[in-house]
Structure 1
Amino acid sequence: MSMLPSKSLLRFQAVCKSWHSLISSPEFIATHLHNFNQQNSRNIVRCCLWTEKKEVYTIHLDDQHLTLDFPIDFPFNLHRDEYGTIFFTLIGFCNGVICLYNERSTTYEIMLWNPSIRNKLTLTPPYYKPELSLVFGFGYYKTSNDYKVVRLAYDRSDMNGRPEAEIYTVKTAIWQAVGFPQDIPCYHILSDYSQVFFNGCIHWLAADLGVSNCSMLTFDMNTNLFGEIQLPKSLVLYSSMGVTLMVVGEYVGVIYSSRPSAVGSSTYKIWVMKEYKKPTSWTMIYDVNYPDTDLGRPLKLRDNGDLVTESRRCNLMICNEKVGCYTVGGCCSKGVKLWSISIDKYHESLALLDVGNNGLVEE
């Protein structure tokens, strides 16, 4: 049964009490997450459509062209003001759950959404002062089969101040204060960059606002402790604005991109950490220059070596050294202007089965 799609398992819950108990158990949910997705490798693409004023999520096969599999209904209403549509801030994808932040709501809501079973959960974080700058993280605690949301609040007027940190655990539904260590340099997290969840830890790109030096700030889901990992020494020579974190196969990785718009060229360098939390193990695996073309913002390095990017027109592109570069179809209709696009692995799961609103979609 753990090899079956989530929608089928939702129906099977009604067969009898024993099946309902089995399918909703934490052990089965964890087993299904591993077994089903191991045989069904797919990707999820998020498009923010500027002209149509909506967010679109689509599932794509993990083939050469990222062929469209099926679209997903988006269950949240977007806010609008005099300047236009306000899209949600994407915090991250993790084990079948999408975490979004609604900074324009009066309560600054955080939404957890499992598109596989149409479950959603809305969190209201503790109040914060308007002069604080917020950064979030989202991850999964495997031991208890639970999800956690981390919130860091920085004082904009104090560049050297330590952030206030809270953590929310889904199963307890409680926000808890977490201390920020004194022995970690108080780098500010670059909030415009997505977090990366890897090996049980959240990773953010953090930088000293006075210089270009940057590193990875980590948060361990098991111990609830912050840590720091130094980036490759080669990156000291580059601006932190061109650095992005990502998961590359079985490793945590970092990519540097140089895209001088006036020249119309682009260079991409990727390092992976062969031994986790050992900076001496950083190894460059990708160094490609396109002298005549700007391929756009890097999003993902696929297992087959293809680089997936977001072009300047916000289209999703695949860059292959042998066959060239081409746009991925199926994300939206032709002629529609995009505001942003992102891609990550799609994990079908039964997560949030026992919380949230099962099967309810807001109109």
Structure 2
Amino acid sequence: MADRLPKELIAEILTRLPVKALLKFRCVCKSWGSLISSPKFITSKLNQTIHLNKINNTDTHIIGRYINANEEGGGEEGRYSVIIYDGSCFIELENPILYCASQLHIFGSCNGLVCLSDNIFDYVFKKVNNLILWNPSIRKSMRLPMSSIGIDSHGLREVVDGYGFDSKTNDYKVVRIAYINDFPDAEVELYSLNRGCWRRIYVVGPHHRFTFAPLPSQVFVNGIVHWVGGDLDADYDISILTFDMSSEVFCKMMPPAAPPHGWMPTRLAVSVLGESLCLGHFDSLVSKVSIWVMKEYGVVQSWSKLFAFDVDEGFGRFLGFRRTGDLRFFKRNDRMFSINLESQQAKDLGIWLSGNPEAFYAVPHVAESLVLL
């Protein structure tokens, strides 16, 4: 029967099926296996998923957290867990990193392909973080080759990574900013999944200090990676450093006007609401959270304060938004909460955040993807 149907119709039907079914259907016949594994079909399936997510207002996040086994009555060592939250329930994933020397960190998720690290920049053991690209939908991961910039060879002071997607070349990239010896000297390398290797980029190094809490806040919006930190060319005034994954160029973006008490750098975070860049700030002096949104991307004058509200002293680190506009954060009692920005009502999301609170991250994620197949 399938042989009588046009190939285009078969492809259209298959793109509407879940990834788990497609992985099985590759074994039906050689033609189906070749079709499902083709770059064209993988892109079509991804576009279909993104389209349906927008229509259905689907809100899925991938979340990394540290679990202290002692607190749960387990063994002596803790472990790092990765879960997916679809707005209604949590599903724990069999991630490629369960144990690591320092901490797991999710840098971002683009089109269902997650970039994570099994070790942050470590002076003691003279290691630069190992990076892994991982698609939880197909349970496939790959470890990136080590960068040529090392602590022994370059005397690094600080390493910052960013992850995103180059839509012009259909390529997933990781940019590494490595500060050499004294600031502000920096080396920049770029990893390309299409090329399968790192290459040095000879661009003007960013004169920028990042706000670590413990790792720099970053978000991928509009084809560009954003970090928040201080501008070394302007007496450490707060600015947003950007890197365009297509043009491979750094720029700086001004934030909105500072609040009355000024910016508290370690309490700043960039995020995304829908497709708009957002900036969140928790002023611990007055226990107030303020959220700004850039209504027209790249236009500084379009920064607009979305909300400002008081919070109790249990408020934790700002993590970002759900598609519904709820603010996601956690409190000091190791519970994950969201707060509705209009009603300012908090909701316990039912997940326990044990162990090190700084090892907790949540980023938007496309749960149905064949990328990396």
State the TM-score, normalized to the length of structure 1: 0.83
1:153-198 per-residue CA deviation (whole Å, 9 max, x = no partner) reads 012x42232x10000101111211112327x6x1123342232101
- Counterpart Cα distance in 2 of 1:71 and 1:239: 34
* 1:19 has 2:32 as partner: yes
Q: Is the counterpart of residue 173 in structure 1 residue 196 in structure 2?
A: yes
Deviations 1:103-142 (A, max 9, x none): 3686742111111101101012224234311110111112
Return closer, same or farther for 1:37/1:160 CA change in 2, 3 Å cut-off.
closer
5+ long unaligned stretches in structure 2: 1-13, 71-77
Q: Determine the structure 2 residue equivalent to 1:115.
A: 136
**Correspondence list, 1:259-338, <5 A:** 259-260=284-285, 266-290=287-311, 292-320=312-340, 322=343, 324-329=345-350, 331-332=351-352, 336-338=354-356
* 1:214 match: 238
CA distance in 1, matches of 2:52, 2:90: 15
Give the alignment partner of residue 126 of structure 1, picking from 148, 165, 168. Answer: 148
Relative to structure 1, the CA distance from residue 112 to residue 240 in structure 2 (aligned partners, 3 Å threshold; closer, same or farther) is: same
- 2:116 is aligned to 100
Q: CA deviation at 1:224?
A: 1.2
For residue 83 of structure 1, what is the aligned residue in structure 2? none
Deviation at 1:152, TM superposition (A): 0.7
Query: Residues 327-348 of structure 1: CA distance to partner in whole angstroms, max 9, x if unpaired?
Result: 211x359xx5454322222212
1:54-112 residue CA offsets vs partner (Å, 9 max, x unmatched): 122222222xxxx21522112224234xxxxx222332222212212233686742111
Alpha-carbon distance, 1:212 to partner: 4.7
Q: Which stretch of structure 1 is more off in the superposition, 46-55 or 114-123? A: 46-55
- Secondary structure of residue in 2 paired with 1:328: strand
**Counterpart in 2 of 1:9?**
22
1:202 aligns with 2:218: no
CA contact (8 A) 2:132 2:142 kept: yes
Please report how far the alpha carbon of residue 46 of structure 1 lies from its aligned counterpart in structure 2 after TM superposition: 1.9
Among 260, 278, 282, the alignment partner of 1:253 is 278
- Residues 44, 59 of structure 1: 8 Å contact kept: yes
Kept after mapping to 1: 8 A contact 2:64/2:106: no
Structure 1 CA distance, aligned partners of 2:128 and 2:226?
A: 26
Contact 1:295–1:310, Cα closer than 8 Å, also in 2: yes
> Residue 372 of structure 2 aligns to a residue in which SS?
coil
Distance across 1 between alignment mates of 2:360 and 2:47: 27
Richer in helix (by share): 2
**Structure 1 residues 281 and 322: alpha-carbon distance in aligned structure 2, compared to 1, 3 A threshold:** closer
**Equivalent residue, structure 1, for 2:372:** 352
Q: Normalising to structure 2: TM-score of the pair?
A: 0.81
| Residues 143 and 35 of structure 1, relative CA distance in 2, 3 Å threshold | same
* Correspondences of 1:17-96 after superposition (within 5 Å): 17-40=30-53, 41=58, 42-51=60-69, 53-62=78-87, 67-80=88-101, 86-96=102-112
Give 1:226's aligned residue.
Answer: 250
> Contact (CA 8 Å) 2:105, 2:361: kept in 1 or not?
no
The alpha-carbon distance between structure 1 residues 32 and 202, as it changes in their structure 2 partners (threshold 3 A), is same
1:337 and 1:152, CA in 2 relative to 1: closer, same or farther beyond 3 A? closer
